Chains A and B, each alone.
Chain A
Amino acid sequence: MSKEVIINSVAVLAGLGLAVALMLLMASRVFKVESNPLIDEVAELLPGANCGGCGFAGCASCAEAMVESGAAVDSCPVGGFETAKAIGTLLGQEVSEAEPEYPFVLCQGGNERCVTLYDYEGVQGCKAALMLCDSRKGCTYGCMGLGTCVRACPFGALSMGEKGFPVVNKNLCTSCGNCISACPNGVLTFAKESEKVHVLCRSHDKGKQVKLACEVGCIGCKKCEKECPEGAIKVTNFLAEIDQEKCTQCGKCVQVCPQAAIVKVD
Chain B
Amino acid sequence: MVEKALSTILLEGVFVKNFLLIQFLGLCSFVGVTKDVKSASGMSGAVVFVMAMAASVSYALYNFVLVPLKLEFLKTIAFIVVIAALVQLVEFIVRKHVPALYRSLGIYLPLITTNCAVLGAVLINVNNDYNFSQSVVFGIAAGIGYTIAMILMAAIREKSNIVNVPKAVGRGVTYAFFVATVMAMAFVSFFGVIPLE
Contact = CB atoms under 8 A, between A and B. Distances in A.
Interface of A: 5, 8-9, 12-13, 16-17, 20, 23-24, 27-28, 30-33, 60
Given A9-B71, A31-B96, A23 B81 contact: no
A139 B7 CA distance: 68
A178 to B, nearest CB: 20
Nearest to B77: A13
Contact of B82 (A12, A20, A31, A60): A20
B89 interface: yes
B70 interface: yes
Contacts, number: 44
A60 B106 CA distance: 14
Contacts of A31: 92-93, 95-96
Main secondary structure of the interface of A (DSSP, over half): helix
A33 B69 CA distance: 40
Contacts of B77: 13
Interface of B: 61, 65-66, 69-71, 74, 77-78, 81-82, 84-85, 88-89, 92-93, 95-96, 99, 103
A22 to B, nearest CB: 10
Given A8-B69, A23-B89, 9 more contacts: A9-B71, A12-B69, A13-B77, A13-B78, A16-B82, A31-B92, A31-B93, A33-B95, A60-B103
Given A27-B92, A31-B95, A33-B96, A12 B85 contact: no
B71 A20 contact: no
Given A27-B92, A31-B93, A16 B69 contact: no
A24 B96 contact: no
Contacts of A20: 81-82, 84-85
Given A12-B78, A16-B81, A24 B69 contact: no
9 contacts: A5-B70, A12-B65, A13-B81, A17-B81, A20-B84, A24-B89, A31-B95, A32-B96, A33-B95
Contacts of B85: 20, 23-24
A131 B64 CA distance: 67
A60 B103 CA distance: 10
A8 B81 CA distance: 17
Contact of A12 (B71, B84, B95, B96): B71
B74 A9 contact: yes
A28 B92 contact: yes
Given A12-B78, A20-B82, A33-B96, A27 B71 contact: no
B61 A16 contact: yes
B178 to A, nearest CB: 21
Given A17-B81, A20-B85, A12 B74 contact: yes
Q: 3 tightest CB-CB pairs across the interface, nearest first?
A: A31-B92, A20-B85, A31-B96
Nearest to B88: A24
A12 B74 CA distance: 9
A131 B99 CA distance: 38
Contacts of B84: 20
A223 B129 CA distance: 93
Contacts of B69: 8, 12
A214 to B, nearest CB: 33
A23 B53 CA distance: 14
Contacts of A13: 74, 77-78, 81
